[in-house]
Amino acid sequence: MSASELNAKTAVELAKLLADGEISSVDLTTACLNRIEAVDGSVKAFLSVDREDALAQARASDERRAQGKSLGPLDGIPLALKDIVAVTGQPLTCASKMLENFVSPYDATSVEKLKAAGAVLFGRLNMDEFAMGSSTENSAFGRTHNPWDLDRVPGGSSGGSAASVAAAETILSLGSDTGGSIRQPAAFCGTVGLKPTYGRISRFGLVAFASSLDQIGPFTRCVEDAALFLDAVCGHDPKDSTSLPDQKTDFLAGMASLKDRKWKIGVPKEFLAEGLDPEVRASVESAIEFYEGQGCTVEEVSLPHSSYAVPVYYILATAEASSNLARYDGIRYGHRSEEAKDGIELYYKSRGEGFGEEVKRRIMLGTYVLSSGYYDAYYLRAQKVRSLIRKDFDDAFAKVDCLIGPATPTVAFRAGDKVDDPLSMYLSDVYTISANLAGLPAMSVPCGLSSEGCPIGMQIISPVLQEAEMLAVAKKFEDAHEFSGIVAPDSAKGGASS
């Protein structure tokens, strides 16, 4: 695989080639589909691909362009979707047996917007069932492999989204992030992954895991591609009550205008403490030194409540999930047990058969923390600590423009390492969860490779609605380094090869 091949290029490069008439969307889409055929048997990023539908969209894009009616830079660019957003007429399984045969009768708002931008929306990407997990091992349809090392996990829950971009099976992909489900797999697979401010992108049509934390975001091979994605998808949606009003977008231009700023960068001391892999630490520290060399000021800050982020998250997210997932009962849609004798047993059996282990674990935990007698001790207290976590960020952002630290405590771990130890799995999200709790925009940018050849990601966290600045900070680093824009080398150990 070389970067000269179409499917390994960035969207901004391809947009130019398409605009100049050098290539067609059909060429590009075909290149991606061929790549999937070649490598997805070992990467297993996709649950399904509707080849004909993808090519039909590509042809339509080419026709628009021929008539001078191009819809913008994303027109004709292949964009694969995590199997958690609704597309009319396409499966929507959330990698669960529960929704194995579900076909969505409507489009998510994000999908509508991407269609309006002309993107070739294709494929259903694997994930942890209902987005619950950090390794994409909790899929009812088999695990996804990390293209850099097939024995390792791609991260999760958006593992398919990360792996598909890293293995050059698509140009862009859409994922969702509830506690790190975009940034952690992006770090593990060496892609850019961005979670916007909560409320930036409509959640209508995004299957809910934890409603107050879920956000859609992109996986890309470069920072500018993430800006392109946001430009197309962000904006107020009257169908989502948590959607932010009066949003300013135009991130691509915004980040360009900010590129020469000398930022005040905060480094949360809690993120460089015990438990951080030395190689990850070294990479992130050298990235921080890079910014100092660029004339930025770097200062240590403290997020004193950040160590409580994981417990707060596992109370709030599971509580919301226990209620959000109550609708899966096999009545109006979804898996229906054939064993049930009456309407009551139908619930127990359909849900018992339809949900996987991690989903059951979280439903039980969420049910527990909301149940009578425990609500105040767990749920209410967690909501209060969430306020304190948010306040820590407010205090930090009074002093600095953004925060930089590691995205994950380690590089991608080996498949099977953590499946029987849910708590240690939960702790792999230790640096990413806080931004979800506080509603802040955050992204992972590739910043190095470990001695074993595994990608390392650094995380940038910015104040609410400051995505343009966050992207500019990331671009500054990307421009001076070689870590972004690369795809998993076919020569890597067990790597995606054709």
Partner 1 sequence: MNSEESIDLDRLCVLARLSLEPEEKEKLGPQLARIIGYVEQLKEVDVDGVEPMAHAIPLENVLRKDEAAELVDRETYLRNAPDSRAHQVVVPPVIEG
Partner 2 sequence: MKYEAVIGLEVHVQLKTASKMFTSVPYRFGEEPNSLIDPVVMALPGSLPVINREAVAKSVQVGILLGCDIAKTCKWDRKNYFYPDSPKNYQISQYDQPLCLNGSVEIEVAGPSRSEEGPHRNVQLTRIHLEEDVGKLTHFDRDSLVDYNRAGTPLIEIVTEPDIYSADEAFAFLTALRRILVYAGISDCDMEKGQLRCDANISIRPVGSETLGTKVELKNLNSISGVRNGVAYEIARQKQVLSEGGSLVQETRRWDADRNMTTSMRTKEEAHDYRYFPDPDLMPVSVSEEWKAELAKDLPEVPFDRQRRYQEDFGLPYSSASVLISDRMLADFFESAVTTGGSPALLANFVVNDLSRELSAGEEGVDLSNCKVEPAGLSELVKLVEENVISNQIAREVLNEMLANGGSPRQIVKDKGLEQSSDEGELETLCREAIAANEKAVNQYKEGNAKAINAVKGYVMKATKGKANPKVVNDLIEKLVNE
Residues 194-253 that bind partner 1 (CB under 8 A): 197-199, 212-213, 238, 241-242, 244-245
Token readout for 411 is: 């590089």
Question: Where does this chain touch partner 1 (CB under 8 A) — which range of 1-9, 220-228, 336-344, 395-403?
Answer: 336-344
* C-alpha distances in Å from residue 368, one per residue of 148, 314, 322: 39, 12, 9
Question: Where does this chain touch partner 2 (CB under 8 A) — which range of 48-56, 92-100, 134-142, 152-160?
Answer: 92-100
**Nearest-approach distance from CB 14 to partner 2, in angstroms:** 29
Task: Find the catalytic residue in 24, 110, 158, 181.
Answer: 181
Residues 330 to 369: which contact partner 2 by CB under 8 A?
331-333, 343, 347, 367
Specify the residue, 290 or 347, whose C-beta has the smaller distance to partner 1.
347
Verify whether residue 181 is a known catalytic residue.
yes
Is residue 89 a contact point for partner 1 (CB under 8 A)?
no
Specify the residue, 79 or 233, whose C-beta has the smaller distance to partner 1.
233
Calculate the CA 220 to chain-centre distance: 10
Angle between helix 467-480 and helix 278-293 axes, rounded to 10 deg:
100
Is-contact 38 7, C-beta < 8 A?
A: no
Verify whether residue 322 is a known catalytic residue.
no
* C-alpha distances in Å from residue 254, one per residue of 230, 240, 257, 466: 12, 26, 5, 10
Site string for partner 2, 26-65 (x = CB under 8 A): ----------------------------------------
Helix (H, G, I), strand (E, B) or coil at 17: helix
Q: Pick from partner 1, partner 2, none: which does 390 bind, CB < 5 to 8 A by kind?
A: partner 1
Q: Work out whether the CA dihedral 370, 179, 321, 153 comes out positive or negative.
A: negative
- β 442-449/455-461 pair status: antiparallel
| Binds partner 1 (CB under 8 A): choice among 103, 116, 256, 298 | 103
Token readout for 270 is: 């809690």
Site string for partner 1, 144-173 (x = CB under 8 A): ------------------------------
Quick one: which of 4, 120, 11 has its CA closest to 62?
Answer: 120
Sheet holding 442-449, edge to edge: 46-48, 120-125, 78-82, 172-177, 215-220, 192-195, 442-449, 455-461, 402-406, 264-268, 297-301
Which residues have a catalytic role annotated? 82, 157, 181
Q: Which residue ranges make up the site for partner 2 (CB under 8 A)?
A: 85-86, 92, 94, 99, 102, 104-106, 108, 203-208, 210-212, 238-242, 319-320, 322-323, 326-327, 329, 331-333, 343, 347, 367, 370-372, 375, 379
